[in-house]
Structure 1
Amino acid sequence: MDEIVTELAGSVLRVQLNRPTKRNAMTSAMYLALAATVETAAQDPQTRVVLWHGAGDSFCAGNDIEDFLKNPPGPGESPQAGLMKALLDFDKPLVAAVHGAAIGGGTTMLTHCDFVYAGESTTFQMPFINLAVVPEFGSSCSIPARIGHVRSAELILLGTPFDAKRAAELGLITRVVPDQDVLGLATETARKLAAKPAGAMQASKRLMKQPFRDQIGAAMKAENEEFSVQVRSDDAREALTAFVEKRKPDFTKTRAAQA
């Protein structure tokens, strides 16, 4: 079964994360496939808009932890870094339909979308601190820039979950809609965008992104370097192992705590 499913309808490329039994948690192979899909869409004249959603009862539950333990990202090129660059450089409209769980990367990837429609059931969370790692996808820059440091601290330093209503209040999503309507509304928006003049559409998006692109790119690089250090720490090993073993982590016995 393909874990990234694509379908071109008119000028709209529908991209579905298709690992529903794992709440579409991302593996290294999925990052590579999604990056390739985005890069191809950027160059394909037939694709004017990308519509992104998840199969089953969730959008994306972040990294697949067991796969992640086997393939932790390094400071340089990694499957995750490849997708980050592809999204940062993507100048065509990107529309997301989100429902259920949007955890970790399932939240931070959305910061690169132009329209995010979230179903009422959606739960967002950036629990990186709970796993003894740091934010990703440039979110340490883009989210404070959008909502300010104090409100970002609640989400990033505490790893607090928040619902779709709160995400809309913070300006992190476009709109909250009933779960059954979210994909339909996102599809309608994607079709409207596809009917606009493509050259002016891409130029307008480039102009909007231009003041922030270098900053977010630099944040991604710094995050990836810090992530590669932290993910190999005793704290991260304890946090990730505890997650797999379904127990509460104990950080009091790690060397970092004793130092």
Structure 2
Amino acid sequence: MDEIVTEHAGSILRVQFNRPIKRNAMTSAMYVALADIFNKAANAENTRVVLWHGAGDSFCAGNDIEDFLKNPPGPGESPQAGLMHAFVNFDKPIVVAVQGAAIGGGTTMLTHCDFIYAGEGAKFQMPFINLGLVPEFGSSCSVPARIGHLRAAELILLGAPFDAKRAAELGLVTEVVSDKDVLTRATETARKLAARPAAALQASKRLMKQPFREQLKAAMKAENEEFSVQVRSEDAKEAFSAFLEKRKPDFTRSVRAQATA
């Protein structure tokens, strides 16, 4: 079974995460596949709009932890970095329907989208700090720029979950709709966009992104370098061990280890 499926409906490219049993958690192979989809769509004449959603009861639960631990990203090119570059260079509208969990990358990837419709039951979280990690996909830059430092600190430095209502209050989603109607609402917007003049639509998005594009690239580079260090830290090892062992992490262990070194 393909973990990401695509389908064309006129000039709309529908992209669906297709690992419902894993809440659409991302593997390295999925990052590569999704980057390829967006890179090809960027140059495809038959694609004016991307409509993106997940199968089952989640949008994306972030990284598949077992796969992630086998293939942690390095400071240079990685599957994750490849997808980041694809997003930064994508000038066609991206419309997303978010149902259920949008965790980690499932939230930060959304910062590159133009219309985000969240079901009432959607749950968002950027839990990187809880894993001894730092934000990615440029979110250390884009989230404070969008909602201000204090609110961004609440989401990034505490890493606490927040619901669709809070996401709307913060301006992180376009609209909250009923869970059963979220894909229909996103599809309606995708169709409206597909009927607009394609060249002007892309130029308008490109102009909107232009003042921040280089800043975002710099943030991603810095994040990737820091992420590659932190993912190999004692805190991260403890966090992932605790996650797999279903216990609360003890971050004082690394402090004790340093004190006795």
Equivalence for 2:145 = 145
Please report how far the alpha carbon of residue 123 of structure 1 lies from its aligned counterpart in structure 2 after TM superposition: 0.4
Please report how far the alpha carbon of residue 255 of structure 1 lies from its aligned counterpart in structure 2 after TM superposition: 5.0
Equivalence for 2:245 = 245
CA 1:26 to 1:256, structure 2 compared with 1: closer, same or farther past 3 Å?
A: farther
Q: Which amino acid aligns with 1:258?
A: Q
Q: Give the Cα separation in 1 of the matches to 2:160 and 2:133.
A: 15
With structure 1 as the length reference, what TM-score do the two structures score?
0.99
Which blocks of at least 5 consecutive residues in structure 1 are unaligned?
none
Q: Give the Cα separation in 2 of the matches to 1:154 and 1:256.
A: 28
Equivalence for 1:120 = 120
Equivalence for 2:155 = 155
1:159-238 maps to which residues of 2 (within 5 A)? 159-238=159-238
Q: Which amino acid aligns with 2:105?
A: G
Q: Give the Cα separation in 1 of the matches to 2:65 and 2:239.
A: 10
1:76-155 maps to which residues of 2 (within 5 A)? 76-155=76-155
Please report how far the alpha carbon of residue 256 of structure 1 lies from its aligned counterpart in structure 2 after TM superposition: 7.8
Equivalence for 1:41 = 41
Please report how far the alpha carbon of residue 247 of structure 1 lies from its aligned counterpart in structure 2 after TM superposition: 1.1
Equivalence for 2:15 = 15
With structure 2 as the length reference, what TM-score do the two structures score?
0.98
SS of match in other structure, 1:254: helix
Please report how far the alpha carbon of residue 205 of structure 1 lies from its aligned counterpart in structure 2 after TM superposition: 0.2
Q: Give the Cα separation in 2 of the matches to 1:185 and 1:244.
A: 37
SS of match in other structure, 2:208: helix
Task: Give the conservation status (yes or no) of the 8 Å contact 1:25–1:60.
Answer: yes
Task: Give the conservation status (yes or no) of the 8 Å contact 1:252–1:258.
Answer: no
SS of match in other structure, 1:16: strand
Task: Give the conservation status (yes or no) of the 8 Å contact 1:11–1:194.
Answer: yes
Q: Which amino acid aligns with 2:118?
A: A
Q: CA offsets per residue over residues 3-33 of structure 1, 9 Å max, x none? A: 0100011000000000000000000000000
Q: Which amino acid aligns with 2:177?
A: V
CA 1:171 to 1:256, structure 2 compared with 1: closer, same or farther past 3 Å?
A: farther
Please report how far the alpha carbon of residue 253 of structure 1 lies from its aligned counterpart in structure 2 after TM superposition: 1.2
Please report how far the alpha carbon of residue 97 of structure 1 lies from its aligned counterpart in structure 2 after TM superposition: 0.2
Q: Which amino acid aligns with 1:145?
A: A
Segments of 4+ in structure 1 off by > 6 A? none
Task: Give the conservation status (yes or no) of the 8 Å contact 1:110–1:116.
Answer: yes
Which blocks of at least 5 consecutive residues in structure 2 are unaligned?
none
Q: Which amino acid aligns with 2:10?
A: G
Please report how far the alpha carbon of residue 257 of structure 1 lies from its aligned counterpart in structure 2 after TM superposition: 6.7
